[in-house]
């Protein structure tokens, strides 16, 4: 999968809480999120590729995606 390193870092930045999580907890959290949303790392990677073909840099897409997910998380609080 392309961009796996960047996607993994994004997901860790957003959904890893080192005060109580270990890597297993983080993976379980991601599995739950993916099952509830229908997304996957592969889908994110494929969408990033489309964005790159349309002129968006990988860095900008990761930044915008992170900002949007953070907004969505805050709306549930």
- The confidence score (pLDDT) of residue 63 equals 96
- The confidence score (pLDDT) of residue 24 equals 96
For residue 71, the enclosing domain spans 4-75
In angstroms, the CA 16 to CA 68 distance is: 17
In angstroms, the CA 17 to CA 24 distance is: 12
Confidence label for 74 from pLDDT (cuts 50, 70 and 90)? confident
pLDDT exceeds cutoff 90 at 76: no
C-alpha distances out from residue 31 to 13, 39, 41, 59, Å? 16, 10, 10, 25
**Domain total for the chain?**
1
**Structure-block tokens of residue 13:** 């930045």
pLDDT in tens, 7-65: 999 999 999 998 999 999 999 999 999 999 899 999 999 999 999 999 999 999 999 99
């Amino acid at each position: 999968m392309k961009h796996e390193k960047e996607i993994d870092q994004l997901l860790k930045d957003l959904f890893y809480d080192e005060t109580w999580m270990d890597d297993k907890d983080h993976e379980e959290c991601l599995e739950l999120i993916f099952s509830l949303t229908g997304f996957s790392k592969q889908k994110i990677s494929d969408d990033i590729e489309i964005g790159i073909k349309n002129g968006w840099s990988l860095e900008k897409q990761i930044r915008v995606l992170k900002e949007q997910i953070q907004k969505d998380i805050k709306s549930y609080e």
